[in-house]
Amino acid sequence: MNICVFCSSSNAIPEIYFEAAQELGKLIGENHHSLVYGGASVGLMHTVAESAREAGAFSLGIIPESIHNKKLSSPRDHENIVTPNMRDRKYLMRKRSDAFIALPGGFGTLEEILEVIALKQLQYHQKPVVFINTDGFFNSLFDQFERAYTESFSKVDYKSTYFIAQNPAEAISYIQNYKHVELVTKWFDVPGPARL
């Protein structure tokens, strides 16, 4: 299985996040999966990829030209793809992957994982999507999700589009035992605006 990992490219973050990334990479390799990731030689991207390769995983790095030109591409990937832009990078990451995991990260990580969830909600794919909530990193985001459900911006049924894991082992177990849940239509059946 090709597992896509979205995660931070920062080297300045607390050590606990690197430990989780290392454990995730190790589990990807030990369970005979392949890694698809952002292809950078920094941050959690570097850690998860190094750990996965050391455990025997094939690694595919997909990186946009603007970052590649800064000499930040990992030289150790089994396959490396340089895309002209971020849009093409994200498309190829989705196309080449059978499952998606978000480790803690910044705006790029959030944008990538939320797009995957939105596409699943709209039934463009049926692949498992997982957040690894290391040290409660995503708690505020999940609170925002709950408000969206409570105030009917999103249907509660869409909690099934993603899974919240507390650690890498729970994430891998979920993916390996994943069963797709059929979704109802996205839209609420409510009266539209009054017409003149």
Q: What is the pLDDT of residues 53-95, one digit of tens each?
A: 999 999 999 999 999 999 999 999 999 999 999 999 999 999 9
- pLDDT band for position 184 (50/70/90)? confident
Q: Contact, 68 vs 61, CB < 8 A?
A: no
Residue 19 has pLDDT above 80, yes or no: yes
Instruction: Count each helix (H run) and each strand (E run) in the chain, helices first.
Output: 7, 7
Residue 195 is predicted with a pLDDT of: 54
Q: Contact, 29 vs 5, CB < 8 A?
A: no
Q: Provide the residue ranges of all domains of the chain, joining segments of one domain with +.
A: 2-175
pLDDT, tens digit, for every residue of 137-154? 999 999 999 999 999 999
Q: Contact, 92 vs 112, CB < 8 A?
A: no
The CATH architecture annotation of domain 2-175 reads 3-Layer(aba) Sandwich (3.40)
Residue 182 is predicted with a pLDDT of: 87
Backbone angles phi, psi at 122, to 5 degrees: -85, 5
